[in-house]
Amino acid sequence: MFQAAEERCAIVALNSKPEEFSAMSQCPHINLADPDSYIGGVPFEWLRELREKEPVFWQVEPQFAEGGYWAITKHKDLDYVSKNPAIFSSAERTCLMKDMAPEQLELNRMILINMDPPDHIKHRRIVRNAFTPKVVDSYHERFKVIAKHIIDQIADQGRCEFVQDVAAELPLIAICELMAVPLDRRKDVFEWTNIMIGSEDPDLSTSEEDGQMAMAELFALGHQLATDYLEGKAVAENTGYLMSALLDGIEGEKLNEVEFSTFFLILLVAGNETTRTVTAQGMRLLMEHPDALQQLIDKPDLIPDAIEEMLRYHTAVVSFRRTVMEDAQLPSGHTVKKGDNVVLFYHSASRDEEVFDDPDTFDITRAQREDVRNKHRAFGIGEHFCLGSHLARLELQVIFEEIIPRLRNPRLAQPVSWLRSNFINGIKEMHIEFDAN
């Protein structure tokens, strides 16, 4: 994971842009693009040091044709990049932390998170109508039924593997129901999304090729579901609310089968994996902070505030990339050049000392003093602000409203197993024990 200091300095000196070669750049501690850097959790200490000493930091990364990228760690710089898509493109090289072959690049540009205006504006306008608070709130009672059933399955056992038994269940069932995925295909969806997210984790026995195949399978399933629906084939009861909104259209705008399939793919991954991650990280934080857990038991009306703090403290998405389309100066004063890669680190922005007081402290009452909901960057900011933020918040609230009063005295039964990924801040396994009831 770490190179010898001399070797690190030699690599940086060889690859860094001479005009930007600083004292700090001479000895980088951690390669933020290396998935190994996230085994055991996000390297918060290194991000804090970057914010303090070199908030726009040239990180050597040989896998990029440009030789590296600028690590963006300050809240104000991340916001500026996110709000100026004409200067900082998502489509040019996609938002992912890897270069792609031309044919792969073209396919990925069809996905909403990799679009720039005007394509992004058109697709987002159609999709966002299906994610308004009014529409999402209509799912509340159904989600409560699902959440109760999930906890009913484990409450009298006194132990569970929390990620698969609890955290993964509600987002998977919810998204599959909303998109009318048949019951006999939901296990496939769970496995495909795991493969896509875990393709860099050797413990999951997957590869980049497996990830591409899983992506193709999800696209094909979405296309089949859209075709069946448009041909008049019925969907199961209590399913398809979101699918019908996207394909039938709202206010005269709708997606065609191909557009639906690409959105289906990203929604199944984003709506499943990210909410699962925040649920697991949130549970871990409450076990590590029993006083906070007791506060929520005593005052359940604090749960929405606690969820915002969970989102801030352990964001699901680690980073996204943008490509600089013209020379630009960031708010911190640093100039980036046309063709450069910039990578946005969301955890760092959500722990920026200029924005949050004592940001490394987990405090479920923080929202009573600070505007946590609008200032954390768990859902990004700007044109790519997460469309599913209201859906995610509803799912998190519903599941923790069941967990907190029913899984009493929870504690880790063995060490947490972390996902090896520079994309999702995930937990693979978290075995817990609690007082059976």
**What is the spatial distance between Cα 152 and Cα 139, in angstroms, rounded to a whole number?**
20
- pLDDT for the residue numbered 238: 67
Say if residues 363 and 289 touch (Cβ distance below 8 Å): no
- pLDDT for the residue numbered 254: 82
Residues of the chain with pLDDT under 50: 1-28
Q: Give domain limits for the chain.
A: 5-435
- pLDDT for the residue numbered 20: 44
Rg (CA), the chain: 22
DSSP-derived letter for residue 147 is: H
- pLDDT for the residue numbered 240: 78
Task: Specify the CATH architecture of the domain 5-435.
Answer: Orthogonal Bundle (1.10)
Tokens describing residue 399: 């599941």
- Which amino acid, 205? S
**What is the spatial distance between Cα 144 and Cα 195, in angstroms, rounded to a whole number?**
29
DSSP-derived letter for residue 249 is: -
- pLDDT for the residue numbered 287: 98
- pLDDT for the residue numbered 17: 46
User: Which residue, 356, 277, 344, is CA-closest to 314?
Assistant: 277
**What is the spatial distance between Cα 390 and Cα 364, in angstroms, rounded to a whole number?**
19
Residues comprising the chain, all counted: 437
24 in the Ramachandran plot: left (φ > 0), alpha (ψ -120 to 50) or beta? alpha
132 in the Ramachandran plot: left (φ > 0), alpha (ψ -120 to 50) or beta? beta
- pLDDT for the residue numbered 163: 96
Burial 264-285 (b: 16+ CB within 10 A, else e): bbbbbbbbbbbbbbbbbbbbbb
pTM higher than the cut 0.75: yes
**What is the spatial distance between Cα 79 and Cα 224, in angstroms, rounded to a whole number?**
38
